[in-house]
Each structure stands twice: as C-alpha cells, then as structure tokens.
Structure 1
Amino acid sequence: MNRTMITATNTLSQLQKQMDIVSHNMANIDTTGYKRREASFADLMFQQFNNQQNAAAEGNRLTPNGIRQGVGAKLAQSKIVMTQGSIKNTDRALDMAFTKEGQYFRVLEQGENGSAVRYTRDGAFYLTPLSDSETMLVTGDGYPVLDENNNPITINGQVKEYQVTENGRLIAIMENGGSREFNLGVVQVNKPQFLEQKGGNLLGLPENMAELNGTEEEILTELNGAMRNQIAIQQRALEQSNVDMSKEMTELINLQRSYQFQSRSVSIADQMMGLVNGIR
C-alpha cells in the first residue's frame, strides 16, 4: 500500500465520523432543546522536506518553506453549538423554555448503575403519581426534575393551577386556596465542550474529569440565591432545536464530494500500482 492509499483511507474513516455527526443533527431537528454539533478537523502527522537550503531564494513565497507530506486528516473536535433555538408556544402549563443560551435544567437520571445528575434544555415536564395525594415533576422519560437543592420536586394535594416565574420558580396553586413554591434547579454551562451526550437528550459531566484537568465549578455555575435573577424562562412554550436543515444538507453534500474524492484517490493509486507491476 503506497502513501496515497494510506492518506485516503485515514481521511475516509474520519469523514465517516463527521457524516455520523451531521446525520445525528438531522435526525434531531424536531427534538426539543437539542443543540447541534459541529466537527472540526486537524492534520495528522506529516513529514517536512527542506528542499530549499537558501531561504532568501524564497523571498516572494506566501506559504511556509519546504514541502510537507501528510498522512491525512483527523476529527479534532465535535463542538456543541449553544445558539438559542426558536420558541414555540404550546399553551401547556408545565412546558418551559429557556430564553438565554447556556442554561439547563437539572434532572436525576436513574439507571442500572445508579443515579446521576444530568442536564437538559427540554422543558416538557409532566406529573407522575407517587400516592393518592402526592405527585412528582418528571421529564418525558420519567426522570425526576430537581430543585435548587438537588431534591426531586414533589407536590402534596390537589393542584388547581401551575405558574412559572421568569427566574425559575414553580408555583402550585392548590384547590384549597393555598400554594406551594419550588425553585427549579438551573445551571449555567460555562464550558459546554466538557459535557458529554448521555442519551435521551441529556448531557452530563465526563467520567475522566481528573484527566481533563477540569472541575465541576469551572464547567457549571449553579444559579442559586441572588444569581437566580440571571435565569430566563418562558412558561407555556418549548425551545426548538437549533438545527438548520438547509445548512446540514449543504454540509452533507460537501461531505459526499470529499468522500468520493478520497475513494477515487484509492482507485487511482491502485491503478498506478497495477501499471508499475505490469512493466516488464
């Protein structure tokens, strides 16, 4: 296998990963609160040939001196794009949408390996009964929604109406005329690239925090106390995904062209090797 084949096959595998990212974006165009991802590439290791010993002879050259022969490209980063999605009114009391970038609800994911705090922009919440008189606020997948103290939000009694203030306070107006208030657990994401997709439209902190030289305080800021004034929530509305289908389709077409080009490079290299081997 010659260098042309190695370069093309290396790049083909990375283009496939980018194609998976674009396909995932397109598949989630209707997912509430979904944030698209963008792929960026970097060069793999390359060799430098200093064919010009006299640098003064390259006076009008605009590129670096020498010849660089690489071995392809690699997917350097899959970056989450935090731009605000459009707001869709639903007229449903337990639908909530953030109107500022980077703010997330805290929920408790319960799985086979235990429970863990996750983060989501999907504000389509529901009620699940715990007993005849007690209900709990949950996500569409049944995960408990947490308050500012990381406790599940449970409501006792018959509720007449729900109200949500702009700074994230849930008010349950009871049938008997009383009310109960809860501060929704909200965080501001400062470094979104540290967060990992955990499935089900949830994000979470990476398992290898120590290796990444990061701390939870650097990545997230809990909007509690006086900082709750920074929260911006709109009730009876949901945030749509920030995926632009036309942009993703254009990116997919460019990817297909790049994939065809690299595949053609492999075919041409194979033909050249066949010609060389056929020389008598």
Structure 2
Amino acid sequence: MNQTLITSVNTLSQLQQKLDILSNNIANLDTNGYKRREASFTDLMNQNVTNMLRANEEVGRLTPSGIRIGTGAKIGQTQMTGAQGSVQPTGRKLDFAFTKENQFFKVLVQENGQGKIHYTRDGAFAVTPVNANEVMLVTTEGRPVLGEDNQPITFNSNNGDITLEDGGRLRIGGQTFNLGVVELRRPQFLTQAGSNLLTLPDDPAVPENEILQEITAAGRTDIAMQQSALEKSNVDFAKEMAELTNVQRSYQFQSRSISLADQMMGLINGVR
C-alpha cells in the first residue's frame, strides 16, 4: 500500500481522538468542578530504508545510515489539568467549593450491586430522606457523599442550620461531620466514570497511595473549602476553540494527503 496512505490513516485516527477530547471539554464548559483534559502527540515508530548498497560508499558518514520514513503520529498521553476554576457564590447552604487544587470529595457509587468510592469536585449537594427523622447528604444524582470514615453522612432532619467549619468539618445543629476529602497526586492514573466522577481502575499501574492520599487527622488543616459557592469548570472556551481549529486543519491536511495518494496510484495503474 502507498506509504502516504498508511501515514495519513494512522494520524487521522489519532486526530479523531483529540477532537473527541476537545469536544468533551467544550461540552462541559458549564459543569461544576469539571477539569479539562488535554492530549499530547508523539511520533510512531520510523521505518528505516537502506538506500546505500555499497559499504565503501558509507566510509566517513557521520549520520545514521539509510532513510528514516515516518509512519504517522499518535496520542502519547492524555491527562487532566487540575488548575483551579473560578468560584461562584450561590447563597445555598449545601453548595461547597474547593479553593485549592487537586482536592476532591468522596462519593459512593453502586456498581454491579457493590459500592465503590468515586471522586468529584462538584460540591452541589442535597439531602434525601433515610427514614422519618433522618436525611442523607447526597450529590445531585442522589449518590451518598462520604465522610472521613467512608460512611454516608446522615443526620437528624430537625437539627437546624448547616455550617462549614475549618478543615472541611460540617456542623449541623449539635452534630459534626468530617467531609471525606482526598488529594490527587497522579490524576492521570484515574479513569473517568461519567457524571463528572473519577475512579481508580480495577488494576492500577502504580500503588494507590501514589495516585491519591486521604486527608485525615492533622492533615485536614490543608483542606480549603468555601460554603455557599460552587467551583466552575477550568475550561477556557477561546483556547479550546483555537485548538479545535488547529486539529480540524490537521485533519483536513491528512484527508487531502489520502486524496493525492489515491490520484497518484490511479495514474500509476493507468500506465500501459
């Protein structure tokens, strides 16, 4: 097959993935606590073609022998950008915004009948009844928000006002609860689970304590949180659109290369 076709097809498939990432960023422009993702490209393995058949003609050569022909590009890495988003006051007592990067709430998600901890920056919480006297703190999708002990936060529905204290501590009437908070150290090893949630893979490539760290005990003084406010996404619409335009131009260039390669093969096949 024509080498130009191989190179263009390889690159097109990777550019499509880049387009998907950019489109997802733009679609989550107004998602609370969303962190944009970015992708970086790297070259695919080169093919080395030996074009000098006589060893005596290579004497004194300072560069590697042969001709190196590229086979396209691929996405080398995709990673989450943890930059702080803007904080917008809401006036609602159950809205909480982190004001420090890489800190996330813990949320319990049911998967195949079992509970698994997920992580989110979206602090738009609500309460749902547990029984006649108790309510549970949940996300907007109804998933339990976990405390420091990885247990759902439940409290008496008549306890009164909800106040956020230093260290991510909730005071509800006479009860206090430590919100479950983790610090992400290597977020690139987490996977997206939908609904603005992140989770650990079933078989992480590195130990869990290298990916995230539970913030407990004296370490809770590092928690930076604001009540009655929400963190907006850190997506810069103008930047995403500019990057989207660049990728579309690259996509058009590779498509044009396929057309030219097809025309060249048509000319060759037509030679009698």
TM-score range, shorter chain: over 0.9
1:185 and 2:188 are equivalent in the alignment: no
Q: What SS does the aligned partner of 1:93 have?
A: coil
1:150-196 per-residue CA deviation (whole Å, 9 max, x = no partner) reads 010000240321101231000002xxxxx110000000101111110
Q: Which position in structure 1 is the counterpart of 2:246? A: 254
Q: Distance in 2 between matches of 1:95 and 1:19?
A: 33
Residue identity in the other structure for 2:18:
Q
1:142-181 pair list within 5 angstroms = 142-173=142-173, 179-181=174-176
After TM superposition, give the deviation of residue 208 of structure 1 in Å. Answer: 1.8
Residue identity in the other structure for 1:275:
L
After TM superposition, give the deviation of residue 51 of structure 1 in Å. Answer: 6.1
After TM superposition, give the deviation of residue 77 of structure 1 in Å. Answer: 1.3
Residue identity in the other structure for 1:233:
M
After TM superposition, give the deviation of residue 237 of structure 1 in Å. Answer: 0.5
Q: Distance in 1 between matches of 2:177 and 2:62?
A: 73
Q: What SS does the aligned partner of 1:256 have?
A: helix
Assess if the C-alpha contact under 8 Å between 1:108 and 1:117 holds in 2.
yes
Q: What SS does the aligned partner of 1:199 have?
A: coil
Q: Which position in structure 1 is the counterpart of 2:55? A: none
Q: Which position in structure 2 is the counterpart of 1:79? A: 79
Residue identity in the other structure for 2:180:
G
Q: Distance in 2 between matches of 1:31 and 1:239?
A: 9
1:227 and 2:250 are equivalent in the alignment: no
Aligned CA distance change for structure 1 residues 65 and 98 (closer, same or farther; 3 Å) = farther
1:205 to 159, 175, 200: 200
1:242-261 per-residue CA deviation (whole Å, 9 max, x = no partner) reads 00000110011001100000
For structure 1, the 5+ residue unaligned runs are 59-63, 174-178
Q: Distance in 2 between matches of 1:120 and 1:100?
A: 14
Q: Distance in 2 between matches of 1:79 and 1:122?
A: 19
Aligned length: 267
1:107-162 per-residue CA deviation (whole Å, 9 max, x = no partner) reads 10123342100000000010001112100000011110111010100002403211
Q: Which position in structure 1 is the counterpart of 2:68? A: 68
After TM superposition, give the deviation of residue 49 of structure 1 in Å. Answer: 4.4
Aligned CA distance change for structure 1 residues 137 and 250 (closer, same or farther; 3 Å) = same
Q: Distance in 1 between matches of 2:225 and 2:237?
A: 26
Percent identity, please. Answer: 56
Q: RMSD of the TM alignment (CA)?
A: 1.6
1:18 and 2:10 are equivalent in the alignment: no
Assess if the C-alpha contact under 8 Å between 1:96 and 1:123 holds in 2.
yes
Aligned CA distance change for structure 1 residues 70 and 235 (closer, same or farther; 3 Å) = same
Assess if the C-alpha contact under 8 Å between 1:166 and 1:234 holds in 2.
no
Assess if the C-alpha contact under 8 Å between 1:94 and 1:125 holds in 2.
yes
Q: Which position in structure 1 is the counterpart of 2:104? A: 104
Q: Distance in 1 between matches of 2:62 and 2:145?
A: 68
1:216 and 2:216 are equivalent in the alignment: no
1:245 and 2:237 are equivalent in the alignment: yes
Assess if the C-alpha contact under 8 Å between 1:36 and 1:242 holds in 2.
yes
Q: Which position in structure 1 is the counterpart of 2:119? A: 119
Residue identity in the other structure for 2:120:
T
Q: What SS does the aligned partner of 1:164 have?
A: strand
After TM superposition, give the deviation of residue 50 of structure 1 in Å. Answer: 6.6
Q: Which position in structure 1 is the counterpart of 2:256? A: 264
